[in-house]
Amino acid sequence: MDIPPFRVTAATLDVLEALLGPDDQLYGLKIAENAGRKTGSVYPILARLEDAGWVVSAWEQDEPSARGPRRRFYRLSPDGLGAARALLLHHRGAVRQRTGSPVRGLAPRPTPQWRGWS
């Protein structure tokens, strides 16, 4: 796997998982909710991914005059899609799709996968 041109953190992997979701209108706030991260830390991650060419963004096109400020939608580029899958497989062993807010608190969590003694 090629080394990505940015620092790979857990938050970066969460954002990539959120971007791999089926929703095609993902903006910053929604990505942060799906990733379970603070919005203030998601915007810099999206900017780094966009600089690296993994993510492309575009302004909202619907109803240009009806609403006030436009939202900015993010999605993975064709190159970034494969690279994100490879990166998630390398670091987490699987590709999960985050589509909603993660369960927090006392809710049961899935058992971690058994990887042997070593």
Partner 1 sequence: MSPAVVFVLVALLVPMAVAESGEVSPWLAKRVLVWAARRLRSAEKTERYTEEWLADLEQVPGKITKLGWALGVAFLGVVRLREPKSALDWTPRPVVNPFATDSLFGPGAPESGGRLVPAPRAQTRPALPRPTAISPGCLGDGGYVGEPAQFEPGGVSYSRRFRQDPPVVPVPREPGARFFQRYYDNWGDSVHRRRYSYEEDAFTTSDQKAAPPVIGL
Binding interface with partner 1 (CB under 8 A) = 27-30, 38-41, 43-44, 47, 60, 67-72
The half-sphere exposure of 41 on its side-chain side, counting CA atoms within 13 A, is 12
Dihedral angle computed from the Cα positions of residues 41, 43, 44 and 46, in that order, rounded to the nearest 10 degrees: 120
Question: Which of 43/85 has CB closer to partner 1?
Answer: 43
Min dist CB 61 to partner 1, Å, is: 13
Min dist CB 111 to partner 1, Å, is: 33
Min dist CB 57 to partner 1, Å, is: 9
Indicate the SS3 state at residue 73. strand
Min dist CB 22 to partner 1, Å, is: 19
Q: Which whole-number Å values give the CA distances from 3 to 52, 54, 82, 83, in the listed order?
A: 12, 13, 13, 10
Question: Which of 47/89 has CB closer to partner 1?
Answer: 47
- Are 27 and 75 in contact, with CB atoms under 8 Å apart? no
Question: Which of 47/103 has CB closer to partner 1?
Answer: 47
Question: Which of 54/73 has CB closer to partner 1?
Answer: 73
